[in-house]
A and B are shown apart, each in its own frame.
Chain A
Amino acid sequence: MIPSDHFTRFYNEVFKFLEQQGEAELEAYFLAISKNQEKHILELIQTRGLEGMDEYWSHIKIEENCDMDIDRNEDRLELRMNVCPSLSKVLDNDAEPMRRYCDHCAGWIGPIMDKTGYHLVYDVIDRNQPQCVMRVFKDAAKAKEAEKDVKLLMGWPGHKV
């Protein structure tokens, strides 16, 4: 068993392999993971919108030991990751980190937001620092406006930046 604690280091090896196969293969994998994640989050979003997302990521915050602030209002949900345990483990690793490790988060979340009619603005800030800010908007124009303040904007399959 690869412990669940070490999944991210296994994930990192998978990303390195797929990057060698080409961008389309990496994107196909993000979509496969996104599909896998639907069973955990899709119904929550479809039935309860931003509140459902808040519930999902509040659970993740605990289970994945995240140092993360969650803020929700009528228009948007904001996740401010102060210390990301996933990238932290990949950096604290005897194997080499994949340089675009952070891309996977928008890679799986973006397609679910597209499917449910929400608008994702994912700021990784710096791929070498375990911090990021994710915002999900109801309104496309507000999301577009929020993109102006982003340091390193992430795209996802079907949504290039």
Chain B
Amino acid sequence: MSEKLRYAEGGEVHLDFHGATNTTIDFIIGRYGIEALDDIFRKVGRDVYRSIHDDLVAGDTEQLVAHWRHFFSRENCDYDIEVGSEEIILTVRHCTAWHHVAKLVGQPSAQFCDQTIRTNEAMAEGSPYAIDTEITGPGSCRQVLRKRA
């Protein structure tokens, strides 16, 4: 466990929370539209993950990488992280969250992965970096952090 992590959790994991996230995504979009959902995820990225955001603004990527390792491991995802000199690539081959929701409800919300896309964008907002998230298939993606041009 990295000492850099603002939030490092232990104990069991309760994957059913991902089902509640899925319900929440559909609820917010259905009543307020996608912009409201984007705004909530932006607040998660900038306020809840303020420590990671502030590190990225200062040019430090270490906590974000530690965060990815800690939580993707806790959720038993199939993933790897390549840390290069020009970019950092998180490749998720099996996202436990997506697949757990698929097991619970059949088809996750079409916007389920916005939690990753928008939160990543917000964490990197105002920093020298951009984090681009490419959905590569059902429950798989590639998240790339690189310096902005």
Contacts and interface: CB of A to CB of B under 8 A. Distances in A.
B9 A10 contact: no
Interface stretch (A28-36, A46-54, A70-78, A109-117): A28-36
A133 B104 CA distance: 29
A132 B124 CA distance: 38
Contact of A65 (B11, B47, B51, B98): B11
Contacts of B32: 21
Interface residues of B, number: 44
A83 to B, nearest CB: 12
A109 to B, nearest CB: 14
Given A17-B39, A39-B104, A3 B23 contact: no
A5 B71 contact: yes
A94 B60 CA distance: 18
Contacts of A39: 104
B14 A4 contact: yes
A161 interface: no
Given A4-B75, A14-B28, A94 B50 contact: yes
A57 to B, nearest CB: 13
A37 B20 CA distance: 8
Given A1-B97, A13-B40, A28-B31, A36 B20 contact: yes
Contact of B48 (A37, A62, A65, A94): A94
A89 to B, nearest CB: 8
Interface string B40-61: 1001100111110000000000
A6 B70 CA distance: 12
B15 interface: yes
Interface of B: 6-7, 9-21, 23-24, 27-28, 31-32, 36, 39-40, 43-44, 47-51, 71-72, 74-75, 77, 92, 95, 97-98, 104, 115-116, 119
13 contacts: A1-B95, A4-B13, A4-B16, A4-B18, A6-B9, A6-B48, A11-B20, A32-B27, A36-B23, A63-B13, A63-B14, A93-B48, A94-B50
